[in-house]
Amino acid sequence: MLDWLIIFFCFLAISSAVTTSMSSKIIRSTFFFGVTLFVIAFVFISIGSTLLGVVQILLYTGGTLVLFLFAIILTANWDYKNLGETFNKPIRAIVISFIFLGIMSYIVSTSPLMKELAENFTINSSNTSKDISKTLFEDWFVILEVASFLLLGTIVGCLTLLKYRKEIS
């Protein structure tokens, strides 16, 4: 039953991601992007990574979607009527995408690692948040600090960009 649920969620994620890509209106694209993020969070929860699923819904989906919606609202005075005409050489993009898909499919289908993965796939939900947090603050502490500095740099960068806008105006 759980396997079918995961397959259903994966199918739903692929469908919404394709709809996100194919939609010509940005607000519709953003909506289906939110659906994709929610479904991926459900996939995380279904395979036992509850912490990741909750983080994905609370922080990633909420934060990212709100940022996108704010950007759309702030630029709402722009004429969006011609948004559907902003495709830039779609044939080239489709050809490159299919070539990339073919190469990746060949690599995956011939890789012994992927065969081993398919044979030994097990769902283990015993990894608790406590284990992840302990590993994060013991073995990955330096990278955690780098990530925090990266977030700090992002804040400074955004403020610098906004200051630049004020000077221009």
Binders of other proteins among residues 74 to 103 (CB under 8 A) are: 74-75, 78, 83, 86-90, 92-94, 96-97
Q: Are 32 and 20 in contact (CB under 8 A)?
A: yes
Residue 16: how many other CB atoms lie within 10 Å: 20
Give the C-alpha separation, 78 to 67, whole Å: 18
Give the C-alpha separation, 90 to 24, whole Å: 13
Q: Is 21 in the site for other proteins (CB under 8 A)?
A: yes
Nearby residues of 124 by Cβ (< 8 Å), 6 or more positions away: 48
- Interface with other proteins (CB under 8 A), residue from 59, 99, 101, 103: 59
Beta carbon of residue 24, minimum distance to other proteins (angstroms, whole number):
9
Q: Is 60 in the site for other proteins (CB under 8 A)?
A: yes
Task: DSSP letter for 48, please.
Answer: T
Total length of the chain: 169
Q: Is 68 in the site for other proteins (CB under 8 A)?
A: yes
Q: Is 37 in the site for other proteins (CB under 8 A)?
A: yes
Q: Is 29 in the site for other proteins (CB under 8 A)?
A: yes
Beta carbon of residue 84, minimum distance to other proteins (angstroms, whole number):
10
Give how many residues touch other proteins by CB under 8 A: 71
Which 134-163 residues touch other proteins, going by CB under 8 A?
A: 135-136, 140, 143, 147, 150-151, 153-155, 157-158, 161-162
Q: Are 53 and 44 in contact (CB under 8 A)?
A: yes
Q: Long-range CB contacts (< 8 A, 24+ apart) of 20-25?
A: 24/83, 24/84, 25/80, 25/83, 25/84
Residue 1 or residue 168: which is nearer to other proteins going by CB? 168
Which 106-135 residues touch other proteins, going by CB under 8 A?
A: 116-117, 120-124, 127, 131-132, 135
